[in-house]
Amino acid sequence: MEYRRLGSSGLQVSALSFGTWLTFGKQISDDTAEKLMDIAYEAGVNFFDNAEIYARGQSEIVMGNILAKKGWTRSSYLVSSKVFFGTEGKDAKPNQRGLSRKHVIEGCHDAMKRLRVDYLDLYYCHRPDKQTPIEETVWTMHQLVMQGKVLYWGTSEWDASEIMEAISIAKQHHLIGPVMEQPQYNMLTREKLEKDYLHLFKHHGLGTTIWSPLASGVLSGKYLDAKPGDTRLMMPGMEWLHDRVLQEEILEKVKGLKKISDDLGVSLAHLCLAWCLKNPNVSTVILGASKTDQLKENLNSMKVVQMLTDEVMSAIEKVLNNKPRLSEF
């Protein structure tokens, strides 16, 4: 396993990490969840990603039980949570979601209990909160770091301007600012990481822990010939994602990418994961999996990175035809 610095911080994170969105506490059994974490840990994965909203807290409970059972040395792994949506869903009362000081602190305490840890290595603001001043959130995160309850904090799906405001507030008041952002990044979703955040990478050393590198499985090629029923796109409540990604234009691109992967003698999933890993601004690629064989295969994608020559990258760009246009100024 390759390890990379999380942005300009000193924290080393495995290039491939493991996340639990839609799986732990929901799609798969606890036994399967344990097997998946075992496979990831033995392969050198040291970062396990979670959030309060995943299965409304049950995902963190499942992961916490596994961590307690395994007894892995605490310094050998990183665990995260994310705060914003709460665990109550549509039944949430006013202060049970968002980024107010109250919810951020209570969310941190609750996540530590569910994960059965004494501190969170990474703690994210899962979405921006238009109802809470960013300054309030920055101060709260700084205080949690000072208390030793959080080691590094960051954002998820924030705009570049919002992240920049948080960084500026932290610098102005000599506080610990955001270290990382967790954006969606894959061959079909590129704007933020390849354009909007470039200033943050260059001048502020922002790290990234990217999610959905296979676009919810579309870039694995499994939807080309059929629509398997046991996938996340076919789960109840995921119709919005199903309709967004299973478009004819997208599937045509997947077919073109499949030809490139076939020519290289690698799986389509490996090609698409390696493409994400090749970006120097990606600190870690979060893998999701509901089956052990699926995870084992995707953990081998590192070896494909060296096969992505300039010629191969040009061929990929020709198929995608979606490279963000950078400003000339």
Phi/psi of residue 225, nearest 5 degrees? -105, -20
Phi, psi of 101 (to 5 degrees): -55, -40
Q: Return the structure tokens found at 197.
A: 């955040």
Q: Which SS3 state, helix, strand or coil, does residue 159 take?
A: coil
Which position among 41, 54, 77, 197 bears the catalytic label? 54
Give the integer Cα–Cα distance in Å for 86 and 192: 25
User: Closest Cα to residue 61, out of 74, 40, 79, 77?
Assistant: 79
Query: How far is residue 194's CA from residue 114's CA, in Å, rounded to a whole number?
Result: 35
Q: What are the CA-CA distances from residue 292 to residues 42, 145, 297 (Å)?
A: 13, 35, 9
Which residue in 311, 301, 293 sits closest to 219, CA to CA? 301
Q: Give the CA diameter of the chain.
A: 56
Token pair recorded at residue 262: 């076939």
What SS3 class is residue 301? helix
Question: How many whole angstroms separate alpha carbon 273 and alpha carbon 85?
Answer: 28
54 is catalytic: yes
With CA atoms as reference, report the closest residue to 15 among 1, 29, 28, 25. Answer: 1
CA distances from 221 to 228, 258, 324, 326 (A): 11, 7, 24, 30
| Beta bridge mates, 230 | none
Q: Which residues are catalytic?
A: 54
